[in-house]
């Protein structure tokens, strides 16, 4: 696996390079947006790790441009920008995951492993599962080619489930998604959100279903798998 680290701090370059190379990854390191685009033009990377505060441009704009170019490589953002709005902006721009500085290097490696395990149809700006397609750049959901009107919280939940399709998404993680929209959560807020999304998907030819894993959380599967 070959990775590209885009980070302008020499000290952090050294620390992260040591961790990633010790884990067995081939790693290239650059410090600017210009070097990022030169590198991806020359090499087919398995993962990009991008800082947002770069000396010659904004990392979010670079990510949006990469996705517009059709680059589906998984992208992990590393940044000190830690507000909810910052995280939402990063994911909406086309990143697959978001890690806030300072972070534990063991967590970085875990995030990298998780992203590298994802099948290709769950990478990049457009998520696909069953007959459902979620264009994250446009924030649009289509089932069997038809647009499906979903609330913002429902779209965020669907994206979280689709990114980890087949795996259980903990109820606590969904509560974190909900907390972005309301400071106070009712006891059944997660159940209500899942119920609304299930109903919306059931009214279309989505090809997917949301399973409840009692006491843990929820899992998105293709309908054939749920029978």
CB contact set of 118 (below 8 Å; sequence gap of 6+): 74, 96, 163
Other Cβ atoms closer than 10 A to 126: 18
| Residue whose token pair is 């650059």 | 30
Other Cβ atoms closer than 10 A to 180: 14
Give per-residue pLDDT as tens, 13-71. 999 999 999 999 999 999 999 999 999 999 989 899 999 989 999 999 999 888 878 78
Q: With cut-offs at 50, 70 and 90, classify the pLDDT of residue 179.
A: low
CB contact set of 127 (below 8 Å; sequence gap of 6+): 121, 133, 134, 136, 159, 162, 163
Give per-residue pLDDT as tens, 59-109. 999 998 888 787 878 899 998 887 777 877 787 788 888 888 888 899 999
Q: With cut-offs at 50, 70 and 90, classify the pLDDT of residue 143.
A: very high
Kindly list the structural domains of the chain, giving each domain's residue range(s) and its CATH number in brackets, ordered by start. 2-120 (3.40.50.2300), 125-226 (1.10.10.10)
Q: Which two tokens stand for residue 179?
A: 């907390």
pTM over 0.75? The answer is: no
Q: What value does the mean pLDDT of the chain take?
A: 85
- State whether residue 46 is helix, strand or coil: coil
Which of 111, 117, 85, 109 has the alpha carbon at shortest distance from 98?
111
Cis peptide before 102 (omega within 30 of 0): yes
Instruction: Say how far apart CA 113 and CA 46 lie, in whole Å.
Output: 11
């Amino acid at each position: 696996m070959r990775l590209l680290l885009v980070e302008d701090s020499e000290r952090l370059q050294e620390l992260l390079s040591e961790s990633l190379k010790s884990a067995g990854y081939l790693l290239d390191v650059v410090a600017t947006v210009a070097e990022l685009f030169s590198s991806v033009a020359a090499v087919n990377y398995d993962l990009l790790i991008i800082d947002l505060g770069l000396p010659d441009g904004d990392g979010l704009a670079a990510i949006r441009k990469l996705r517009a170019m059709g680059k589906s490589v998984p992208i992990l953002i590393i940044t000190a920008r830690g507000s909810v709005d910052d995280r939402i902006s990063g994911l909406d721009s086309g990143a697959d995951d978001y890690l806030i500085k300072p972070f534990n290097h063991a967590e970085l490696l875990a995030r990298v492993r998780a992203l590298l395990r994802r099948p290709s149809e769950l990478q990049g700006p457009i998520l696909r599962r069953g007959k459902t397609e979620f264009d994250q750049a446009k924030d649009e959901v289509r089932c069997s080619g038809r647009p499906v009107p979903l609330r913002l919280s429902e779209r965020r939940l669907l994206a979280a489930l689709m990114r980890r399709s087949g795996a259980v998404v903990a109820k606590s993680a969904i509560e974190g998604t909900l907390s972005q929209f309301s400071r106070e959560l009712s006891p059944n807020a997660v159940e209500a959100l899942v119920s609304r999304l299930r109903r919306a998907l059931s009214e279309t030819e989505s090809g997917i279903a949301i399973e409840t894993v009692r006491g843990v959380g929820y899992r998105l599967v293709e309908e054939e798998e749920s029978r």
